[in-house]
Amino acid sequence: MAKANVKRVQEKRANLSVVQDNPIKTTAYNDINLKKWKDYPDIKTDTFWQFPTRLKDSGHSNEYHGNYIPQIAQQLYQRYTKKNDIVLDMFFGSGTSGIEAINENRRCIGVELKQELVDSVSQKFTQKQLVTDVNIICGDSASDEIVDKIQARLDVMGEEKAQLLILHPPYDDIIKFSDKKEDLSNCESTEQFYDLFEKVAKNGYNLLEKGRFAGLIIGDSYKYSEVQPLGFECMQRMKNIGFKLKSIIVKDIHGNERAKGKTANLWRYRALAGGFSIFQHEYIFIFQKI
C-alpha cells in the first residue's frame, strides 16, 4: 500500500476513534445526551400525561385563569430546544412560557393582545431579563404587522428564526379574555375562530426555523348540544399550513383546573341529563416544520 494511502487510513481510523470515544451524542434540536438516555426519567415520551397539581413555585402563580401548566413548558423545552434557544409564544397570556424559559436557560418572545396584561406580566421579570431573555410584544398574533415586530426582536436577539413555537389559544368562546374584536375568544362563530387561529399558526410557521418543532395546547368545547372538536380541527389547519404531525398527546386535566370541584356535581347531573361526557382532558399536538 502506498504511503499516502496508509496515512489516510490511519487518519480515518483516528477520527473514528475520536467519534466513538465522544461521551456526548445529541440531536440537532435538544441537549439530551442519547448515550445516557436512561438518565432522563422525568422526560415524558408517552402519549398520556398526568400531573397531579399545577406547579406554583419558581416564579409561577395561578392568578390568571386559562394559562397552561408550567410542566408542559418544561417537557417541551427539554425535548425540543437547546440552551439559549428562542421560544416564540403567540398567545403569551400570563407569561408561563417566558418564566419557564428563564428557569430552563432559554429565551422567549411572547405576543399578547392586551396592553394591561403585558404591563402586568412584565413585572415578573427583571429589567435585564426583559432586554436579553424575554421580549413581550403587545399586538395581534393573526395580523401581518406582527411578523415584522417579531422579526425585529429576533434580529436584536441574534437569530433569524425561533427554535420552538408555542400555541395555546383560547378554546373558542369558553372564556372571554377581553372585549377586543381581534381576540379569538370573541369570534362570531367557531368557523371564524378556526380561520383566525390558522392565520396565527401561519405567522408562527413563517417565523420558525426549519426542522424545529411546534406545540399546540388546546381542548375541545361543547356548544349547541354537541362537541366542537377544536383540537383536531386546529391540528388539521396546522397540517394544511405545512407542519408535519409528530405526536398527539392526551393530558389529564384533573387537578389542574381552578374551582373544578365546586361544580363537579352540577356538571355530572348535566352530563346524565344531556347525554354528553365531562371533559377530563386536553391535547398537546407536536409538529415539526420540514
CA distance 22 to 132: 33
Question: Hey, is 49 helix, strand or coil?
Answer: strand
Which CB contacts under 8 angstroms, 24+ apart, belong to 24-30? 26/82, 28/211, 29/80, 29/81, 29/82, 29/163, 29/211, 29/212, 29/213, 30/78, 30/79, 30/80, 30/81, 30/82
CA separation (Å) from 245 to 98, 184, 190, 284? 25, 23, 23, 11
On whether the CB atoms of residues 180 and 117 are closer than 8 A, the answer is: no
Residues 39-74: b if buried by 16+ CB within 10 A, e if exposed: eeeeebeeeebebeebbeeebbeeeeeebbbbbbbb
Q: Is residue 264 part of a domain?
A: yes
Residue type, 245: L
Q: 179-210: per-residue pLDDT in tens? A: 899 999 999 999 999 999 999 999 999 999 99
Residue type, 244: K
**Against a cut of 0.75, is the pTM above it?**
yes
User: Residue 7 — pLDDT band, cuts 50, 70, 90?
Assistant: low
Q: Is residue 138 part of a domain?
A: yes
On whether the CB atoms of residues 182 and 247 are closer than 8 A, the answer is: no
Copy the grid coordinates of residue 67: 394559562
Number of C-beta neighbours around residue 19 at 10 A: 8
- Domain count across the chain: 1
Q: 96-143: per-residue pLDDT in tens? A: 999 999 999 999 999 999 999 999 999 999 999 999 999 999 999 999
Q: Is residue 2 part of a domain?
A: no
The rounded percent of the chain whose pLDDT value lies above 70 is 86
Phi, psi for 250 (deg, rounded to 5): -100, 125
Q: With helix as H, strand as E and coil as C, how does 211-258 read? A: EEEEEEEECCEEECCEEECHHHHHHHHHHHHCEEEEEEEEEECCCCCC
pLDDT of residue 123: 95
Domain ranges, residue 90: 45-289
Q: Is residue 40 part of a domain?
A: no
Q: Is residue 210 part of a domain?
A: yes
Q: Is residue 17 part of a domain?
A: no
Q: Is residue 225 part of a domain?
A: yes
Q: Is residue 222 part of a domain?
A: yes
What is the domain-level CATH number for residue 220? Answer: 3.40.50.150
Residue type, 240: N
